[in-house]
Amino acid sequence: MLVTVIIFIVILSVLVLIHEAGHFFVAKFFGIKVEEFGFGLPPRAFGIKRGETIYSINWLPIGGFVKLYGEDEAGTGAVSIKEQKVSKKDRERAFFAKPVWQRALVVLAGVVMNFVLAVAIISILFSAVGIQTGGNKVIVTQVIPNSPAQKAGLKVGDTIEAINNTAVSSPGQLVTITRGHLGQKLTLRVLTTKDKQEILEVTPRKNYPPDQGPMGVAISQNIIIKKYPWYEAPFVGTSQALSESWLILSGLGMVVVQLFTKASVPSGVAGPVGIAELTGTFVQLGLPALLSFVSLLSLNLAILNILPIPALDGGRLFFILVEGITRRKVDQRVESYAHAIGMAVLLLIIALITLHDIIRLISGQPILQIPK
């Protein structure tokens, strides 16, 4: 249990630090003064100042943060800096004083870093380990007793290569051809489990039990492990990351709808407690499974942060874009209230999901079902 907690904290810290590193490096690139880059959350344990930036270790070992000069809790900082007696040079290096497009890139950098991390992990897995994918063979997985398939001689593990001299590459193709010839004799070319080819004749039934099918056989696609060369893996990894991101976004939408319409947490949704438990499960499944889980968490962090929710990066970006469109700074008090309300709502949702996780954990139910 202790090992799981430590690994969970390490993973969460790495994901958040990667996120904050994006803000840090892009801010430095645009000449924005970075006051502090912290590992963990305050209170501060100790810090070392290098140049103008304090690099700190904080007591709460979860994640990290970047403190930009001229960025208050609302993300503008314009009022507080203007009220202070600061040099023109420092004022020009304040976050709020930078052009809209530069501030937008600084805010987006964290999300981009999480997405890039996910793509990198997925690409490495695709190249080094490979991915399970459907092949082009149709495998017999079950033969019903006294069915046409059994009478014809089909056995579990046989590969159906062709039907009536038509090559078969998918279960759907075999089903379509079979249903088009009910009551008619069909010729199957089969590769047995002993690597011998046989020609079998079977007549699919016109009338059959609904849970058996015309032949009385269950079939599936064969599974193969496909590896991609290193130069192709990043492109496939990016495509996979985008597909997973869409699924995450759709799932978040369903979570919000159910929370506000039914006041309940959907099954399959986990908070910090559930994620910690899942970490232990993936540790047991091995390093590739754990890395895949980390990439999924990184994508979740990216998607959640890009949403236009006050208090998150997407919310800050929203106000920056409003300023860019209207060419007027948003009232700092309005933005501060918006971020405060957004944070309160987020904390409430996290509390509800965490409570749900704890109740399920106490009741002995697994928080999420993981196929093994």
335's enclosing H/E stretch is: helix 332-362
For residue 291, what are its two tokens? 């890395």
Q: What whole-number distance in Å separates Cα of residue 360 and Cα of residue 299? A: 25
Is 20 known to be catalytic?
A: yes
Which residues, including other chains, have CB under 8 Å from residue 228's CB and lie 6 or more apart?
126, 127, 130, 236
**Strand pairing category for 159-163 and 53-68:** unpaired
Q: Give yes or no for a contact between 223 and 135, defined as CB atoms under 8 angstroms apart.
A: yes
Count CB neighbours of 146 within 10 A.
8
- DSSP class of residue 371 equals -
Tokens of 74: 């609302």
Rounded distance, CA 269 to CA 275, Å? 9
Contact 91, 69 (CB under 8 A): no
Burial 96-114 (b: 16+ CB within 10 A, else e): bbbeeebbbbbbbbbbebb
Catalytic residue among 20, 71, 277, 335: 20
Contacts of 280 (CB under 8 A, 6+ apart): 1, 4, 7, 8
> What are the DSSP E strand ranges found in the chain?
34-50, 53-68, 131-143, 159-163, 166-167, 186-191, 197-202, 217-226
Identify the DSSP state of 22.
Answer: H
CA 334/CA 339 separation, integer angstroms: 9
Provide the 3-class DSSP secondary structure of residue 275: helix
Residue whose entry in the numeric block shows the structure tokens 């249903």? 179
Nearest to 161 by CA among 131, 141, 142, 136: 136
* Active site positions, annotated: 20
